[in-house]
Amino acid sequence: MKRNLATGLLFLVLLPAAGGAQSIGGGDVTFKPKGAEPVVFSHELHVTSRGLKCTGCHYHVFQMTKGSYKMDMTKITKGDFCGKCHNGERSFGVLDEQNCVKCHK
């Protein structure tokens, strides 16, 4: 918990210096699962195009750092991580075979 708070504060300090325009939040985050095509998570798409707030994901779904959790499809399908929204209700579902390629490219 202490470390998360420190990371958050560090981010607030760095934000003005970053100028804001180059990348939204943490930019693109790439996951490389074994046995599947890579998954690129786009902050820009989620924050800018979909109007999600940082707190929509941080810190209850994801920490503000790369690789903070060991994700896998079983957990995601049960509604954790990406599956919190990608459940066919808030957004396209992870179980639909047509949707695999929306994330795995």
Dist. CA 88–CA 41, nearest whole Å: 18
Minimum separation from the CB atom of position 4 to ligand HEC (A): 12
Interaction site with ligand HEC (CB under 6 A): 11, 24-26, 29, 31, 33-36, 39, 41, 43, 45-47, 50, 52, 54, 56-58, 61-69, 71-74, 76, 81-82, 84-86, 90-92, 94-95, 97, 99-100, 102-104
Dist. CA 48–CA 51, nearest whole Å: 5
Q: Is the CB of residue 94 less than 8 Å from the CB of residue 77?
A: yes
Minimum separation from the CB atom of position 38 to ligand HEC (A): 8
Name the DSSP letter for residue 69. Answer: S
